Amino acid sequence: MANSSLGIYFGPKIINLVETSGKKILNNIQIQRSLFAPSDLEPQVSDEIKIVALFNEELRKNKIEVKEANFCLSGKDLIIRTFDIPLLPAEEIANGVNFEVRKYIPFKIEDLVSDFQVSHDKVSRRNQVFYVGIKKETLEKYFSIASQLNIKVNAIEYSVFSLLRFLSLANFNSRGVVAVFNIDYLEEDEANFIILDNGFPLFSRDIVVSTGQDDIHGPQETPLASLLERLKTEIRVSLDYYNRTFLAKKISKVYMIINNDLRPDMESFFKDMSLPVNTIDISKYIPRNQIFSLGLVKSCGCSFPKNTKGELKINLLSARVRTKAGKEAVVSVDFKAIFAAFKIDSRVIIVGLLICLLSFAYGIYRKIPVKTELENATNQAPKVLDVSATAPLADLEALNMELGKQKRDLKNLVTKRPYLTELLNVLPKLLPERMRLTKVAYSLKSETSGELQLRGIADTGDNDQELKLINNFLVVLKDDPVFKKYFKNISLSNIGHQDKINGTNFVISCQKQEAD
């Protein structure tokens, strides 16, 4: 159909393809990921090839001729982080986000394609940031699948955003601070718990769902009971973190999309935590012949982003385009046009020459005291006894080698020996409050390389705050001009706790590398 749209949700266990026209579902296709598992018969066939083959077969079987699609991805493929940054000018926000997010991801930010959304918090007078990233190699895998299907990808987003877009068509009210919890354990899709402030995400957590036979249960515990306990534990931890982070933003209501057999227990759980619950019945918004399926809801919401307007604007496709444009952009400068606007003035040339001469003379003047000091040091050096004119050649060569060694040792002593006075002078100024150093040690590995080791304790009474304090101290050391001058590699080599000692112990290694 000419006006139809295709949404594809890549879930943990099932891939959903939904073709829609307006708000009407035309086709709903489910493909089990177990079909892509490697087998003994065809171990060399990659997942991509199998996915493309099954997609082509299903598209042909259902007579779907759409050449454009939108993708939504589960949390297992993404890096989701929320944090805050100071108020910055608009042109500096991207750099501020990239600097801050390095504290929360375990690998290089250059390996990611990412997008973010910022909301100004009037109470704290800071910017709240919702950050979504994906490894470049993972993203390119999805584009490879689309390319082999001859499908143009128009949008790539977090699957929870697709679900919220579907709910907006169901008149979902996101005003105020509300939470949305959804689960479909029959599909073993991931459960999502997200908290919104007037539509802007403050917190998001994806929970792995499994009721397989490999789960460990108590003697009287069923897989469903075990799942319920795991869900309750995850939500308690999430709410505890949220309440400590956002003290002024209390949750007014929890909306649930859930299987009927889990609903009574989860409603009772939220009510016990003093959170009003409202269950959303999505059956009225999907065809009667379709059973409850979060994969259907997410792929359906993903299929019509152009038809809805909302607060969520993160799109990893746009981020990929920006990343590539940043690498491939070439600045073209018309030097002829630039210099055509200048006229040569002899007075400018004379002034320029005078400045150069003065700079050269000042450099010579600065060298005089150093040269005088070097000459005095040379004159004060111990004299070598005269050698007899009758000494054999072997004695002269041995003496020449000894003198050469002494000369090299003196030169290394003056030019290559590390001086720690400047470092020890600036270190107390960089040390933050609630942190102390217990040991400062420098080891010389060779004439031109060594290691400065800083051992210390951060003690704030809160493990998260102590980790943040240590990371901030590491960033300050890396940015300090004195430390950057001496050390090329500054890293956190150890962190932990000791019995009977409050606080978090850490070891920071500052290494001076040999010159190339």
470-500 per-position pLDDT tens digit: 999 999 999 999 888 888 889 998 888 877 7
Q: Which of 279, 308, 328 is the last residue of a domain?
A: 279
pLDDT in tens, 58-86: 888 988 888 889 999 998 999 999 999 99
Percent of the chain with pLDDT strictly greater than 70: 84
- Shared domain check, 347 and 304: yes
56: containing domain: 1-157+291-359
Domains held by the chain: number: 4
- Shared domain check, 236 and 326: no
| 152 inside domain | yes
- Shared domain check, 139 and 6: yes
Name every residue whose Cβ is closer than 8 Å to that of residue 30 and which is 6 or more positions away in sequence.
14, 15, 16, 17, 293, 295
Percent of the chain with pLDDT strictly greater than 90: 27
Report the CATH number at residue 246.
3.30.420.40
**What CA–CA distance (Å, rounded) separates 145 from 73?**
14
- Shared domain check, 214 and 257: yes
Classified as helix, coil or strand, 81 is: strand
| 371 inside domain | no
- Shared domain check, 431 and 408: no
pLDDT in tens, 101-135: 898 888 788 889 999 999 988 888 889 999 999 99
- Shared domain check, 345 and 306: yes
- Shared domain check, 217 and 314: no
337 confidence band (pLDDT: 50, 70, 90): very low
Query: Residue range 19-34: average pLDDT?
Result: 84
Positive or negative, the Cα torsion across 133, 136, 138, 140? positive
Report the CATH number at residue 450.
3.30.980
| 241 inside domain | yes
- Shared domain check, 406 and 320: no
Q: Which of 225, 249, 279 is the last residue of a domain?
A: 279
- Shared domain check, 209 and 351: no
Whether the CB-CB separation of 5 and 20 falls below 8 Å is answered with yes
Tokens matching residue 326 = 């940043």
- Shared domain check, 1 and 141: yes
Q: Which of 343, 359, 375 is the last residue of a domain?
A: 359
- Shared domain check, 5 and 147: yes
Q: What's the pTM value of the predicted model, to 2 decimals?
A: 0.60
Report the CATH number at residue 45.
3.30.420.380
- Shared domain check, 413 and 485: no
| 6 inside domain | yes
| 458 inside domain | yes
Tokens matching residue 14 = 């099932």
| 136 inside domain | yes
Q: 52 to each of 11, 92, 138, 222, how far by Cα in Å?
A: 16, 42, 16, 38
